[in-house]
Amino acid sequence: MLDVSTLWHVPEPDSLVWRSFDSYSLLFNERSGNTHVLDPLSREILDLLQEAPRDETSLVRELTSLLEGQDPEALAGAVHEALKAFDTAGLIFPAYHS
Amino acid sequence: MQENRAQVTRDLNRGKLKFKVGPFVARIGTSYPLLQRDFLDIYGGYPLAGPDEFAHFNLKVDPVSLLRRWFKPKVIADGGFIASPFVPLPGDLSILALEMGLNWQVGTKSDQYLIYHSGVVARDTGPDEGQPSRAVLMAGESGAGKSTLTAGLAYSGWRLFSDEFALMDTDDLLLYPYPRPISLKNQSINVMVERLGEEVFSRPFLNTIKGTIRYLKVPAESLRQGHRPAQLDLVVFPNYVEGSPGHIEEFVGAEAFAMLRGASVNSDRLGRPAFDAISELVGRCRFYGLQYGSLDMAIKMVEDLMEETR
Q: Which tens digit of pLDDT belongs to each residue from B138-161?
A: 998 887 889 999 999 999 999 999
Q: What confidence tier does B213 reach under pLDDT thresholds 50, 70, 90?
A: very high
Average pLDDT, chain B: 92
Q: If you average pLDDT over residues A13-41, what whole number do you get?
A: 93
**Do B139 and B224 share a domain, yes or no?**
yes
**Do B170 and B102 share a domain, yes or no?**
no
Query: B261 in contact with A at a CB cutoff of 8 Å?
Result: yes
Q: Do A35 and B254 touch (CB under 8 A)?
A: no
Q: Is residue B191 part of a domain?
A: no
Is the model's pLDDT at B116 over the cut of 80?
yes
**Do B105 and B118 share a domain, yes or no?**
no
Q: Is residue B198 part of a domain?
A: no
Task: Work out the percent of chain A whose per-residue pLDDT is above 70.
Answer: 97
Query: B281 in contact with A at a CB cutoff of 8 Å?
Result: no
Of B109, B125, B150, the last residue of a domain is: B109
pLDDT at A69: 83
Q: Is residue B202 part of a domain?
A: no
Is the model's pLDDT at B126 over the cut of 80?
no
- DSSP assignments along B228-260, one per residue: --EEEEEEEEEEE-TT---EEEEE-HHHHHHHH
Q: Is residue B287 part of a domain?
A: yes
**Do B39 and B143 share a domain, yes or no?**
no
Query: A19 in contact with B at a CB cutoff of 8 Å?
Result: yes
State CA B233 to chain mean position distance. 19
- What residues in B contact A19, CB-CB < 8 Å? 257, 275, 279
pLDDT at B259: 95
Q: Is residue B6 part of a domain?
A: yes
The closest of B92, B88, B90 to B77, measured between CA atoms, is B88
pLDDT at B226: 87
Is the model's pLDDT at B124 over the cut of 90?
no
Is the model's pLDDT at B251 over the cut of 50?
yes
The domain that holds B142 is classified in CATH as 3.40.50
Q: B97-115: per-residue pLDDT in tens?
A: 999 999 999 988 899 999 9
**Do B131 and B42 share a domain, yes or no?**
no
Of B55, B87, B109, the last residue of a domain is: B109
> Would you call B193 helix, strand, or coil by DSSP?
helix
Q: How many CB pairs below 8 Å do chains A and B form together?
A: 35
From CA B202, how far away is CA B181, in angstroms rounded?
9
Q: Is residue B257 part of a domain?
A: yes
How far from each other are the two terminal CA atoms of chain A, in whole angstroms? 21
**Do B280 and B165 share a domain, yes or no?**
yes
Q: What confidence tier does B128 reach under pLDDT thresholds 50, 70, 90?
A: low
Query: A37 in contact with B at a CB cutoff of 8 Å?
Result: yes
Is the model's pLDDT at B170 over the cut of 50?
yes
Q: If you average pLDDT over residues A10-28, what whole number do you get?
A: 92
The closest of B38, B37, B72, B86 to B214, measured between CA atoms, is B38
pLDDT at A82: 96
pLDDT at A98: 43
Q: Which is more confidently placed, B276 or A1?
A: B276
Q: Which is more confidently placed, B83 or B307?
A: B307
Is the model's pLDDT at A40 over the cut of 80?
yes
Q: If you average pLDDT over residues B273-294, what whole number do you get?
A: 96
Average pLDDT, chain A: 91
Domain total of chain B? 2
Question: Cβ atoms within 10 A of the Cβ of B204, count?
Answer: 12
**Do B77 and B14 share a domain, yes or no?**
yes
Which residue range(s) make up the domain with B42? 2-109
**Do B118 and B139 share a domain, yes or no?**
yes
Q: Do B279 and A26 touch (CB under 8 A)?
A: yes
From CA B177, how far away is CA B210, in angstroms rounded?
26
> Would you call A1 helix, strand, or coil by DSSP?
coil
pLDDT at B83: 67
Q: If you average pLDDT over residues B28-53, what whole number do you get?
A: 94
**Do B95 and B146 share a domain, yes or no?**
no
**Do B101 and B122 share a domain, yes or no?**
no
Is the model's pLDDT at B72 over the cut of 60?
yes
How are beta strands B205-208 and B211-216 bridged, if at all? antiparallel
**ipTM confidence:** 0.83
Q: Which is more confidently placed, A2 or B4?
A: B4
Q: Is residue B261 part of a domain?
A: yes
Is the model's pLDDT at A97 over the cut of 60?
no
Q: If you average pLDDT over residues B181-207, what whole number do you get?
A: 94
Q: Give the list of residues 6+ apart from residue B300 with CB closer than 8 angstroms, or none.
A: none
From CA B293, how far away is CA B240, in angstroms rounded?
6
Q: Is residue B199 part of a domain?
A: no
Of B74, B109, B144, the last residue of a domain is: B109
**Do B164 and B84 share a domain, yes or no?**
no
- What residues in A contact B271, CB-CB < 8 Å? 28, 30, 33
**Do B104 and B125 share a domain, yes or no?**
no
Task: Count Cα neighbours of B137 within 13 Å in the Cβ-side half-sphere.
Answer: 32
Is the model's pLDDT at B78 over the cut of 90?
no
Instruction: Say if residue A68 is exposed, middle or buried (CB neighbours under 10 Å; 0-12, 13-18, 19+).
Output: exposed
